[in-house]
Structure 1
């Protein structure tokens, strides 16, 4: 079979979902609830600025986040929703200057991030599909969700998120089945001397190095501090999986499905870890051996 099961690595949808903090107004640092136990500077309420957020919307501890154990900050990814809300929805108005718009901005940011996350999964699904009808359906869903993100603030606040999430989940499940079919023989051919993955979702601290993870269903799984070093995760479904401190050094995630930058940012990898081209290798991977 081909080295990769992706039909293409080039997807404009995914390129547009990269964060650009310079075009945002620190929305993630003020609009969200933070907990110190989750690796943030302190416990803070929604609408309260982070203690490290400076007047110019930059972080005073940006270069020292990992050293200070602020993994929550380095892991977070808004899928590009921050700059979309700041520059398109509110046309460059920031929450500090326009105090009467603060609550609306924060709510719109949270909703837009959810829409952008859906776009990410749809865009990723598109890279695995060659069937024209399914491609057309994926592109139709992408266009539909993308148009929602371009509405005015009031309209965005009235979006029925669950309605669209249900639509998106339906075609994501279909894509997952396509991927399973693609890797079925590959999984059989590479199962020698490997254990079958046990059913369940709790793999916290589990050693999975001797387990066949090809095509594994890790949707929503707890993989915190699990050992997946040097494993092959081709076709593995990682949607919503918690990879905090999971050891993926030397692992092959090039063809893992529904993997996000935020998940990668929380895991332990190195220069041997294979990632999809849409994701970036965290700089601290090379430092933290």
Structure 2
């Protein structure tokens, strides 16, 4: 019996937007391309099952992924797209028993993931008090996006995701501006900046615009990132030990998973501290 999607009108993005591997047919372990690197020990083509994927669609080395060189797997988050595609779009029929559906199922996954990511951002925006003037528009955008996730595979594959993102992005920008306006004074604008390896220890980045910034391996120890906009920022190996990200706008679990932190790193309440910190 297909599971039903959570009600998106909740105080926080719900379980429907969090990966539930027990209700997924191991789609990320098959649909994605892997390239041998610091994140993966082997090359794997899209559509080829990972060698560690078991017959029950569980990972055979889940507890040892980092030890085995699969760091990228511990960072990836489908935003709940895997179970939506498995249980709703394809009605609980897995790609092993219905191999004719495999190619379409794997192709739908990245589309659904992008839609679920938008749902996460819109759901977060609806929890932010400064964005209250936008709640009506945000709810309309969330409802439209949710309806798209419930269309059939053919409709999803024909969806223009660039257009959907372009329709939602202005709302997210306005939300960010309203939230960051709570920080008095001039806020730093580092949108899309190349800050790879930059030394920013202890920096005051309250309310900063860091949308799409490259912060790979940057030193942000003890930095103040409260109410900063981090949507799309690349935080791979960013040192966030002791940093304060309380109220950071549009920060998602994949970014946190890719960074380095410790017990003193303060995170938004909707996110969880990675086990490897």
Q: Same fold (TM over 0.5)?
A: yes
1:256 aligns with 2:248: yes
CA spacing shift, 1:46–1:135, aligned 2, 3 Å: same
- Given candidates 234, 239, 242, the residue that maps to 1:247 is 239
Alignment gaps of 5+ in structure 1: 1-9, 189-195
Equivalence for 2:268: 276
Return closer, same or farther for 1:284/1:200 CA change in 2, 3 Å cut-off: closer
Does the alignment pair 1:48 with 2:48? yes
- The higher relative CO (CA closer than 8 Å, separation ≥ 6) is in 1
Q: CA deviation at 1:12?
A: 4.3
Q: Which residue of 1 aligns with 2:59?
A: 59
Residue 245 of structure 2 aligns to a residue whose secondary structure is coil
> C-alpha deviations, 1:68-111, integer Å up to 9, x for none?
33211100000000001101111111111111001110111111
Gaps of 5+ in 2: 1-9
Report if aligned partners of 2:206, 2:226 keep a CA contact under 8 Å in 1.
Answer: yes
Deviation for aligned residue 1:229: 0.9
Paired position in structure 2 for 1:232: 224
Q: 1:128 maps to what in 2?
A: 128
In the other structure, the counterpart of 2:108 is 108
Q: Which TM-score applies when normalising by structure 2?
A: 0.91
Structure 2 contact 190–213 (Cα < 8 Å) conserved: no
Aligned partners of 2:62 and 2:151: how far apart in 1? 32
Q: What is residue 4 of structure 1 aligned with on the other side? A: none
Taking a change above 3 Å as real, the CA distance of residues 200 and 258 of structure 1, as seen in their structure-2 partners, is closer
Output aligned runs, 1:143-222, within 5 Å: 143-185=143-185, 201-222=193-214
Note if contact 1:36-1:43 (Cα within 8 Å) is conserved in structure 2.
yes
- Offset of 1:127 from its aligned partner? 2.1
How many pairs does the alignment contain? 268
Q: Could you tell me how far 1:136 is from its partner in structure 2? A: 1.0
